[in-house]
Structure 1
Amino acid sequence: MMSRRARAWRPGFLKVAALGLAVAGLSACANPQADQALYAQQAFVGMPKQTLLSCAGVPDRQAAMDNLEYYTYNSQRITSTTTPSPRFGFGYGHGFGYHPWYGGYGGFGWPETTEIESRDCQATFTLKNGTVQQLIYGGASDGPSGRLGQCYRIVENCLALIPQQAQPAAATR
Protein backbone atom coordinates (compact mmCIF):
# COMPACT_ATOMS: atom_id res chain seq x y z
CA MET A 1 0.00 0.00 0.00
CA MET A 2 1.29 3.44 -0.96
CA SER A 3 1.74 6.03 1.75
CA ARG A 4 -0.20 9.27 1.61
CA ARG A 5 2.98 11.21 0.85
CA ALA A 6 3.93 8.91 -2.03
CA ARG A 7 0.45 9.27 -3.59
CA ALA A 8 0.77 13.06 -3.59
CA TRP A 9 3.78 12.91 -5.91
CA ARG A 10 2.25 10.82 -8.69
CA PRO A 11 2.95 11.92 -12.28
CA GLY A 12 -0.57 13.35 -12.54
CA PHE A 13 0.11 15.64 -9.62
CA LEU A 14 3.29 16.86 -11.29
CA LYS A 15 1.42 17.64 -14.51
CA VAL A 16 -1.16 19.67 -12.60
CA ALA A 17 1.58 21.50 -10.69
CA ALA A 18 3.47 22.27 -13.93
CA LEU A 19 0.27 23.56 -15.54
CA GLY A 20 -0.38 25.78 -12.52
CA LEU A 21 3.11 27.26 -12.71
CA ALA A 22 2.72 27.89 -16.45
CA VAL A 23 -0.58 29.71 -15.91
CA ALA A 24 0.98 31.78 -13.12
CA GLY A 25 3.90 32.67 -15.38
CA LEU A 26 1.62 33.78 -18.20
CA SER A 27 -0.58 35.82 -15.88
CA ALA A 28 2.45 37.95 -14.98
CA CYS A 29 2.29 39.32 -18.56
CA ALA A 30 -1.49 39.62 -18.60
CA ASN A 31 -1.77 43.40 -18.16
CA PRO A 32 0.04 45.35 -20.88
CA GLN A 33 -1.17 48.64 -19.38
CA ALA A 34 0.65 47.78 -16.14
CA ASP A 35 3.79 47.05 -18.19
CA GLN A 36 3.47 50.45 -19.88
CA ALA A 37 3.04 52.22 -16.53
CA LEU A 38 6.23 50.56 -15.26
CA TYR A 39 8.04 51.59 -18.43
CA ALA A 40 6.91 55.20 -17.93
CA GLN A 41 8.79 55.37 -14.62
CA GLN A 42 12.05 55.11 -16.58
CA ALA A 43 11.03 56.79 -19.83
CA PHE A 44 9.84 60.04 -18.26
CA VAL A 45 13.11 60.83 -16.46
CA GLY A 46 14.47 63.97 -18.09
CA MET A 47 11.09 65.04 -19.54
CA PRO A 48 10.72 68.84 -19.47
CA LYS A 49 8.11 70.32 -17.14
CA GLN A 50 6.27 71.97 -20.05
CA THR A 51 5.94 68.63 -21.86
CA LEU A 52 4.64 66.91 -18.71
CA LEU A 53 2.02 69.62 -18.15
CA SER A 54 0.94 69.56 -21.79
CA CYS A 55 0.39 65.79 -21.94
CA ALA A 56 -0.70 64.99 -18.35
CA GLY A 57 -2.55 68.22 -17.67
CA VAL A 58 -2.78 70.27 -14.50
CA PRO A 59 -1.84 68.18 -11.43
CA ASP A 60 -4.37 67.54 -8.68
CA ARG A 61 -1.78 68.63 -6.09
CA GLN A 62 1.55 70.34 -6.29
CA ALA A 63 4.19 71.32 -3.77
CA ALA A 64 7.71 72.77 -3.78
CA MET A 65 10.51 72.25 -1.31
CA ASP A 66 14.32 72.55 -1.43
CA ASN A 67 14.58 73.21 -5.18
CA LEU A 68 12.24 70.26 -5.92
CA GLU A 69 8.69 70.36 -7.26
CA TYR A 70 6.15 67.58 -6.70
CA TYR A 71 3.19 67.10 -9.03
CA THR A 72 0.60 64.52 -8.00
CA TYR A 73 -2.08 63.17 -10.33
CA ASN A 74 -4.97 60.95 -9.21
CA SER A 75 -6.98 58.42 -11.19
CA GLN A 76 -9.86 56.34 -9.85
CA ARG A 77 -12.27 53.86 -11.38
CA ILE A 78 -15.08 51.82 -9.88
CA THR A 79 -16.38 48.78 -11.75
CA SER A 80 -19.11 46.30 -11.01
CA THR A 81 -19.52 42.78 -12.32
CA THR A 82 -22.82 40.92 -12.01
CA THR A 83 -22.76 37.14 -12.11
CA PRO A 84 -26.11 35.55 -12.93
CA SER A 85 -27.31 32.90 -10.54
CA PRO A 86 -27.92 29.34 -11.66
CA ARG A 87 -31.63 28.64 -11.91
CA PHE A 88 -33.26 25.34 -11.13
CA GLY A 89 -36.92 24.82 -11.90
CA PHE A 90 -39.84 22.46 -11.45
CA GLY A 91 -41.87 23.70 -14.35
CA TYR A 92 -43.02 27.02 -15.60
CA GLY A 93 -45.46 28.94 -13.48
CA HIS A 94 -48.00 26.48 -12.19
CA GLY A 95 -48.80 27.17 -8.58
CA PHE A 96 -45.51 28.54 -7.25
CA GLY A 97 -45.63 32.22 -8.30
CA TYR A 98 -42.83 34.43 -9.55
CA HIS A 99 -39.92 35.56 -7.44
CA PRO A 100 -36.51 36.53 -8.89
CA TRP A 101 -34.62 34.91 -5.99
CA TYR A 102 -36.19 31.57 -6.65
CA GLY A 103 -35.44 31.14 -10.32
CA GLY A 104 -38.53 32.65 -11.88
CA TYR A 105 -41.76 30.71 -11.99
CA GLY A 106 -41.74 27.48 -10.05
CA GLY A 107 -38.02 27.23 -9.35
CA PHE A 108 -35.41 27.73 -6.70
CA GLY A 109 -31.90 29.13 -6.62
CA TRP A 110 -30.08 32.13 -5.19
CA PRO A 111 -29.76 35.79 -6.20
CA GLU A 112 -27.31 37.22 -8.66
CA THR A 113 -24.00 38.30 -7.18
CA THR A 114 -22.48 41.69 -7.84
CA GLU A 115 -18.82 42.44 -7.19
CA ILE A 116 -17.73 46.06 -6.91
CA GLU A 117 -14.07 46.84 -7.43
CA SER A 118 -12.35 50.16 -6.88
CA ARG A 119 -8.99 50.90 -8.45
CA ASP A 120 -7.01 54.02 -7.80
CA CYS A 121 -3.57 55.42 -8.46
CA GLN A 122 -1.60 58.41 -7.29
CA ALA A 123 1.29 59.26 -9.58
CA THR A 124 3.78 61.72 -8.09
CA PHE A 125 6.36 63.30 -10.37
CA THR A 126 9.45 64.81 -8.75
CA LEU A 127 10.98 67.65 -10.79
CA LYS A 128 14.29 69.41 -10.34
CA ASN A 129 15.40 72.37 -12.45
CA GLY A 130 12.35 71.97 -14.69
CA THR A 131 12.81 68.28 -15.57
CA VAL A 132 11.30 65.05 -14.27
CA GLN A 133 13.69 63.22 -11.93
CA GLN A 134 11.41 60.47 -10.64
CA LEU A 135 7.89 59.02 -10.97
CA ILE A 136 6.40 57.12 -8.03
CA TYR A 137 3.06 55.32 -7.94
CA GLY A 138 0.86 54.77 -4.91
CA GLY A 139 -2.73 54.00 -4.10
CA ALA A 140 -4.98 51.67 -2.17
CA SER A 141 -5.85 49.19 -4.95
CA ASP A 142 -5.28 45.53 -4.21
CA GLY A 143 -2.28 44.12 -6.01
CA PRO A 144 0.31 46.02 -7.99
CA SER A 145 -1.07 44.96 -11.37
CA GLY A 146 -4.47 46.52 -10.66
CA ARG A 147 -2.94 49.74 -9.39
CA LEU A 148 -0.47 49.96 -12.28
CA GLY A 149 -3.25 49.38 -14.77
CA GLN A 150 -5.02 52.40 -13.31
CA CYS A 151 -1.76 54.42 -13.25
CA TYR A 152 -1.56 53.88 -16.99
CA ARG A 153 -4.59 56.19 -17.30
CA ILE A 154 -2.45 59.03 -15.94
CA VAL A 155 0.61 58.48 -18.13
CA GLU A 156 -0.94 57.19 -21.37
CA ASN A 157 -1.05 60.58 -23.15
CA CYS A 158 2.59 61.24 -22.29
CA LEU A 159 3.63 57.75 -23.41
CA ALA A 160 2.42 58.67 -26.89
CA LEU A 161 5.28 61.19 -27.03
CA ILE A 162 7.94 58.52 -26.38
CA PRO A 163 9.32 56.83 -29.52
CA GLN A 164 7.91 53.29 -29.84
CA GLN A 165 11.22 51.65 -30.75
CA ALA A 166 12.70 52.69 -27.38
CA GLN A 167 10.12 50.69 -25.42
CA PRO A 168 11.09 47.24 -24.12
CA ALA A 169 9.60 44.19 -25.85
CA ALA A 170 7.68 43.23 -22.70
CA ALA A 171 5.84 46.54 -22.75
CA THR A 172 4.60 46.19 -26.35
CA ARG A 173 2.76 42.90 -25.91
Structure 2
Amino acid sequence: MGVRVSGVLLGLSVVVLAACATGPGAEVAQRAQTELVGMPKDRLLACAGVPERQASAEGRDYYTYVARPSGGYGPSSGLGIGAGGGSFGSGVGLGLGFSLPVGGTSTGCEVTVVLGRGGAVEQVSYPAGVSLSACAPIVENCVRSR
Protein backbone atom coordinates (compact mmCIF):
# COMPACT_ATOMS: atom_id res chain seq x y z
CA MET A 1 0.00 0.00 0.00
CA GLY A 2 2.88 2.41 0.74
CA VAL A 3 4.28 1.99 -2.77
CA ARG A 4 0.86 2.63 -4.25
CA VAL A 5 0.40 5.86 -2.24
CA SER A 6 3.90 7.01 -3.18
CA GLY A 7 3.15 6.40 -6.85
CA VAL A 8 -0.07 8.40 -6.63
CA LEU A 9 1.71 11.27 -4.86
CA LEU A 10 4.49 11.25 -7.44
CA GLY A 11 1.93 11.32 -10.24
CA LEU A 12 0.10 14.23 -8.64
CA SER A 13 3.39 16.10 -8.19
CA VAL A 14 4.15 15.74 -11.89
CA VAL A 15 0.68 17.02 -12.81
CA VAL A 16 0.99 20.01 -10.45
CA LEU A 17 4.46 20.89 -11.75
CA ALA A 18 3.33 20.56 -15.35
CA ALA A 19 0.40 22.87 -14.69
CA CYS A 20 2.68 25.45 -13.09
CA ALA A 21 5.45 25.23 -15.66
CA THR A 22 4.42 28.06 -17.87
CA GLY A 23 6.19 31.01 -19.36
CA PRO A 24 9.82 31.76 -20.06
CA GLY A 25 12.20 30.33 -17.52
CA ALA A 26 10.01 27.41 -16.48
CA GLU A 27 12.36 24.97 -18.20
CA VAL A 28 15.35 26.42 -16.34
CA ALA A 29 13.54 26.02 -13.02
CA GLN A 30 12.65 22.41 -13.84
CA ARG A 31 16.22 21.60 -14.87
CA ALA A 32 17.52 23.06 -11.62
CA GLN A 33 15.68 20.36 -9.68
CA THR A 34 17.99 17.72 -11.15
CA GLU A 35 21.07 19.65 -12.27
CA LEU A 36 21.75 21.24 -8.88
CA VAL A 37 21.65 17.93 -7.00
CA GLY A 38 25.19 17.17 -5.87
CA MET A 39 26.35 20.79 -6.18
CA PRO A 40 28.66 21.71 -3.27
CA LYS A 41 27.50 24.40 -0.83
CA ASP A 42 30.22 26.87 -1.84
CA ARG A 43 29.21 26.68 -5.52
CA LEU A 44 25.54 27.13 -4.59
CA LEU A 45 26.37 30.25 -2.59
CA ALA A 46 28.51 31.54 -5.46
CA CYS A 47 25.77 31.19 -8.08
CA ALA A 48 22.59 31.78 -6.04
CA GLY A 49 23.93 34.13 -3.40
CA VAL A 50 23.17 34.27 0.28
CA PRO A 51 19.75 32.80 1.13
CA GLU A 52 17.08 34.98 2.69
CA ARG A 53 16.45 32.39 5.40
CA GLN A 54 18.38 29.41 6.74
CA ALA A 55 17.40 26.56 9.02
CA SER A 56 18.99 23.30 10.13
CA ALA A 57 17.32 20.07 11.20
CA GLU A 58 18.45 16.47 11.46
CA GLY A 59 21.85 17.17 9.90
CA ARG A 60 20.46 19.02 6.90
CA ASP A 61 20.55 22.70 6.03
CA TYR A 62 17.53 24.37 4.44
CA TYR A 63 18.23 27.50 2.41
CA THR A 64 15.29 29.60 1.28
CA TYR A 65 15.75 32.01 -1.60
CA VAL A 66 13.07 34.57 -2.45
CA ALA A 67 12.27 36.22 -5.77
CA ARG A 68 10.03 39.21 -5.28
CA PRO A 69 7.52 40.27 -7.93
CA SER A 70 8.76 42.87 -10.35
CA GLY A 71 6.92 46.13 -10.61
CA GLY A 72 5.38 48.05 -7.80
CA TYR A 73 4.51 51.50 -6.72
CA GLY A 74 5.70 54.07 -4.25
CA PRO A 75 6.07 57.76 -3.69
CA SER A 76 8.20 59.82 -5.99
CA SER A 77 9.09 63.46 -6.15
CA GLY A 78 10.32 65.84 -8.78
CA LEU A 79 11.63 69.34 -9.17
CA GLY A 80 10.79 71.35 -12.23
CA ILE A 81 12.17 74.62 -13.50
CA GLY A 82 10.80 76.22 -16.60
CA ALA A 83 11.42 79.38 -18.56
CA GLY A 84 10.09 80.83 -21.77
CA GLY A 85 8.44 83.83 -23.32
CA GLY A 86 10.18 86.29 -21.05
CA SER A 87 9.01 84.64 -17.83
CA PHE A 88 10.61 82.30 -15.36
CA GLY A 89 8.95 79.77 -13.07
CA SER A 90 9.83 76.98 -10.72
CA GLY A 91 7.93 74.37 -8.77
CA VAL A 92 8.15 71.29 -6.65
CA GLY A 93 5.85 68.34 -7.22
CA LEU A 94 4.99 65.18 -5.35
CA GLY A 95 3.48 62.27 -7.20
CA LEU A 96 2.75 58.59 -6.96
CA GLY A 97 4.72 56.55 -9.45
CA PHE A 98 4.15 52.95 -10.40
CA SER A 99 5.46 50.43 -12.85
CA LEU A 100 4.01 47.39 -14.52
CA PRO A 101 6.04 44.25 -15.08
CA VAL A 102 7.03 43.90 -18.70
CA GLY A 103 8.71 40.61 -19.46
CA GLY A 104 9.50 40.06 -15.78
CA THR A 105 7.86 38.03 -13.10
CA SER A 106 4.50 39.21 -11.90
CA THR A 107 4.43 36.86 -8.94
CA GLY A 108 7.10 35.98 -6.45
CA CYS A 109 8.59 32.63 -5.58
CA GLU A 110 10.40 30.96 -2.71
CA VAL A 111 12.87 28.22 -3.53
CA THR A 112 14.01 25.86 -0.81
CA VAL A 113 17.34 24.11 -1.31
CA VAL A 114 18.16 21.20 0.98
CA LEU A 115 21.83 20.51 1.69
CA GLY A 116 22.72 17.09 3.04
CA ARG A 117 25.20 16.08 5.72
CA GLY A 118 28.08 16.34 3.26
CA GLY A 119 27.18 19.91 2.35
CA ALA A 120 25.93 19.13 -1.16
CA VAL A 121 22.50 19.93 -2.60
CA GLU A 122 20.04 17.07 -2.14
CA GLN A 123 16.83 18.73 -3.26
CA VAL A 124 15.45 21.90 -4.89
CA SER A 125 11.76 22.50 -4.27
CA TYR A 126 9.19 25.10 -5.23
CA PRO A 127 5.87 25.93 -3.58
CA ALA A 128 2.78 24.30 -5.05
CA GLY A 129 0.77 26.48 -7.39
CA VAL A 130 3.50 29.00 -8.24
CA SER A 131 4.62 29.61 -11.81
CA LEU A 132 8.04 28.09 -12.27
CA SER A 133 8.91 31.10 -14.42
CA ALA A 134 8.75 33.19 -11.25
CA CYS A 135 11.35 30.88 -9.66
CA ALA A 136 13.79 30.87 -12.57
CA PRO A 137 15.66 34.07 -11.60
CA ILE A 138 16.77 32.39 -8.37
CA VAL A 139 18.30 29.31 -9.97
CA GLU A 140 19.24 30.38 -13.50
CA ASN A 141 22.82 31.36 -12.65
CA CYS A 142 23.37 27.97 -11.02
CA VAL A 143 22.00 26.06 -14.02
CA ARG A 144 24.21 28.07 -16.36
CA SER A 145 27.32 27.55 -14.21
CA ARG A 146 26.88 23.77 -14.09
What TM-score do you get using the length of structure 2 for normalisation? 0.58
Counterpart in the other structure of 2:51? 59
Q: Which digits, 9 at most, give the CA deviation of each residue in 1:84-121, with x for residues without a partner?
A: xxxxxxxxxxxxxxxxxxxxxxxxxxxxxxx8884010
2:112 counterpart residue number:
124
Q: Give the distance between the partners of 1:155 and 1:34, measured in 2 at CA.
A: 11
* Structure 2: distance between partners of 1:53 and 1:66: 21
CA distance in 2, matches of 1:123, 1:75: 8
Within 2, Cα distance between the matches of 1:32 and 1:43?
A: 18
Q: 2:26 aligns with which of 27, 31, 34?
A: 34
Equivalent residue number for residue 43 of structure 1: 35
Tell me which structure has the larger Cα radius of gyration: 1
Q: Which has the higher contact order (CA 8 A, sep 6+)?
A: 2
Structure 1 residue 40: Cα displacement: 0.6
Structure 2 gap segments, 5+ residues each: 1-19, 73-99
| CA apart distance, 1:35 | 1.0
What is the percent sequence identity of the aligned residues? Answer: 42
Counterpart AA for 2:127: G
Alignment match of 2:127 (pick from 126, 131, 138): 138
Structure 2 residue matching 1:160: 3-state secondary structure: helix
User: How far apart in 2 are the matches of 1:75 and 1:49?
Assistant: 20
Q: What is the aligned residue count? A: 97
Contact kept in structure 1, 2:106 and 2:134, CA below 8 Å: no
Which digits, 9 at most, give the CA deviation of each residue in 1:106-157, with x for residues without a partner?
xxxxxxxxx8884010000000120000000127xxx54xx21111000111
Query: Partner of 2:93 in structure 1?
Result: none
How far does residue 50 in structure 1 lie from its aligned partner after superposition? 0.5
Q: Which residue is equivalent to 1:167?
A: none
The alignment status of 1:73 with 2:65, answered yes or no, reads: yes
SS of the aligned residue for 2:126 comes to strand
TM-aligned CA deviation for residue 161 of structure 1: 1.1
Distance in 1 of aligned mates of 2:21 and 2:106? 22
Please state how far the C-alpha of 1:44 moved relative to its aligned partner. 0.5
Change (3 A) 1:71 1:29: closer
More helix by share: 1
Gaps of 5+ in 1: 1-27, 81-114, 163-173
